Structure 1
Amino acid sequence: MTGLHWGILATGGIAHAFTSDLRTAGLDVTAVGSRSIESARAFAEQYDIPHAHGSYEELVSDPEVDIVYIATPHPGHVENALLALDHGKHVLVEKPFTLNADEAAVIRDRAALKGLLAMEAMWTRYLPHMVRIREILSKGTLGEIRVVSADHTQKISTDPGHRLNALELGGGALLDLGIYPISFAVDVLGVPERITAFARLSDAGSDAEVATVFVHPGGALSTTVSSSRGAGANVAQIVGTEARLEIDRVWYTPTTFRVVTPDGSVREEFDGAVEGRGMQYQALAAERLVAAGATSSDILSIDDTVAIMGVLDEVRRQIGVVYPSEH
């Protein structure tokens, strides 16, 4: 166990995955909160959590909780994060951070005012293979980066009421799936200067497929594809003038990659296999940041999170997707 006490806000599938990995890493999960005390108690029993609360207010008021993981659907992130911050708790907010950049900026500014850490739970950024990729890029091994491509495609329910389809829940492939490759492109190349997007919308009006082409500082290009209607290869690559880096399926989870020169020679192979799903690495980073007194991540800064939400806003503007709460 560590000295930082985690509180889990909400008890859905992503909360189960995250908490399981916290336990794998030996981190201290102190409390869970749900709108249903029965759900909170069942969750607490499953993961041996000392305190179960029947409301989010009770969870963030728990004096033993230091940091809160926000695991509610996207539309609730801003309200839940502000609630935790106002009770003096650091927050790790499940991605996408919010519905839009304006909401993200509100959380950023409140955290800064309170002197607390606000961090997006883009867990892919913290995985060992991504850490190694950034090291390779910083050394210039690939030469000048010309192109980044990545996709995130899954076959998910077509039920209009499903969370990924319902606009009132922030549904659509972009925020749930497209956030991964878009965040990856920004990680490698920086925030795009030009954005072009196309989409196929579902009958519910949410985006079922989205394709993007970005122009980044210096002229490098990135392409992304996301879909909730069919499962693709889910691979990624970074193409440079001296070599390319190929990330295997499923690129945004613990996996393998290789660095390949233009003549086909393999310069490096890396196996990023980890214990559990790998969500513990973002939690370990959050603990390190809190211990250092930081209010923003050094791997994905809160300003970059706000900027990425702005990119998603522009993509949605171009494809014509607006959430009911934004009217």
Structure 2
Amino acid sequence: MARLAEIVPLTLVLTIAGSCGVLTSMVEPIRWGILATGGIASTFVEDLALLDDCRVTAVASRSAERAAAFAKKYDIPHALDSVQALAASDEVDIVYVATPHSHHYLPTLRLLEAGKHVLCEKAFAYNAAQTRTMFDVAREHQRFLMEAMWTRCNPAIREMRRAIKEGMIGEVVSVNGNFAISGDIPPSHRLRNPELAGGALLDLGVYPVTLAHLALGVPESVSAEAVMDAVTGVDAQTAITLKYPNAIAQLSCSYRGGAANEVTIAGTEGRIELHDYAYRPSGYTLVRYDGGSREFEAPYVGHGYVHEALEVHRALRQGRLESTLVPPQSTIEVMEILDAVRERIGLRYPGETHPKQS
């Protein structure tokens, strides 16, 4: 696979490397462990291979066979059969938790308590209570913890945020966003399986909610309606309205098909359009109401996970325990919104625990 310098211009490489506070060839590598062996773990490891300042040194799965196969495919030295073994490894600095979100909470706590830094996939946990505990434990053990919300680290999204802050569209008055997929999804699949905290909301809805939060912050009220899966009982299709003092966000998510996966952030003087696929964009359209539009290009590297890995590396190199692009408070606030939506649509998960019950 091509290295970072082979697929993007040198000026961009220097900019990206500089954002980490280092030039990648001049530092000791950060050693990554990977928890789980599914598709998202594969794409993340492929993106890590584009960076010169890290190594993947271990992978862990409940299946020793799957761990061994993954390790062989990606030339990873150590294949382990449990999160406990990964936590105990002296060859790992930080762990990427790529398990279903039903299996984020306890493994992350074990890893933090064992002294590992953690990048944990979204949705971050079952609920905001667990999320707060996870960050509390990270602070207690002086470990770095970040939600793997690649959208917040995406170059186009970062440029879009700058444009909004600089008043390019005036005061934000609305966010409209959708994330829908379709296909023959079996009931056992993580999207539909309540035992794995399935449903459209936590898996897909977290993206439009995150973009609404990014543009508008914490809403003053949350309302929602859902069509529940007749077989498994999770939400198959959910519509969300977030009310702010001077704005409204109308969001939707579905695994039954739906509108294009686009987001529009509208202001008093213009709007920003993020086209399909809006949660990993390579640019955006800025439309001004007084005439004219402009296309902004900001391509992502690799599969798009490179940028969240760079944010992790930048923080670790600088000795910081929290991300500035994906701060803990933002992760908590998004989980609180998701909790409120679940309350409105009556979505409960078997085995869901709050910290005092764990």
In structure 1, the partner of 2:47 is: 21
Aligned pairs for 1:43-62 within 5 A: 43-62=70-89
1:208 aligns with 2:236: yes
Asked if the contact 2:275–2:281 (Cα under 8 Å) also holds between the matched residues in 1, the reply is no
State the distance in 2 between where 1:83 and 1:179 align.
25
1:175 aligns with 2:202: yes
Asked if the contact 1:148–1:221 (Cα under 8 Å) also holds between the matched residues in 2, the reply is yes
In structure 2, the partner of 1:247 is: 274
Asked if the contact 1:154–1:232 (Cα under 8 Å) also holds between the matched residues in 2, the reply is no
Q: Residue 4 of structure 1: which of 23, 27, 30 is its match?
A: 30
State the distance in 2 between where 1:264 and 1:315 align.
38
How far apart are residue 276 of structure 1 and its match?
Answer: 1.8
Aligned pairs for 1:1-327 within 5 A: 3-26=29-52, 27-203=54-230, 204-216=232-244, 218-266=245-293, 268-326=294-352
- CA RMSD in angstroms, aligned pairs only: 1.4
Q: How many residues align?
A: 325
Asked if the contact 2:269–2:290 (Cα under 8 Å) also holds between the matched residues in 1, the reply is no
Asked if the contact 1:249–1:255 (Cα under 8 Å) also holds between the matched residues in 2, the reply is no
Report the AA paired with residue 210 of structure 1: T
Stretches of 4+ aligned residues off by more than 6 angstroms: none
Report the AA paired with residue 250 of structure 1: Y
**Which moved further from structure 2: 69-78 or 19-28?**
19-28
Asked if the contact 2:87–2:116 (Cα under 8 Å) also holds between the matched residues in 1, the reply is yes
TM-score, length-normalised on structure 1?
A: 0.96
Q: How many percent of aligned residue pairs carry the same amino acid? A: 42
Report the AA paired with residue 116 of structure 1: R
Asked if the contact 1:149–1:236 (Cα under 8 Å) also holds between the matched residues in 2, the reply is yes
How far apart are residue 109 of structure 1 and its match?
Answer: 0.5
State the distance in 1 between where 2:342 and 2:183 align.
20
State the distance in 1 between where 2:246 and 2:297 align.
31
**Which moved further from structure 2: 286-295 or 182-191?**
286-295
Report the AA paired with residue 238 of structure 1: I
How far apart are residue 86 of structure 1 and its match?
Answer: 0.9
Q: Deviations over 1:255-309 (max 9, x none)?
A: 331111114401x312233332101110110111122222221112112211211
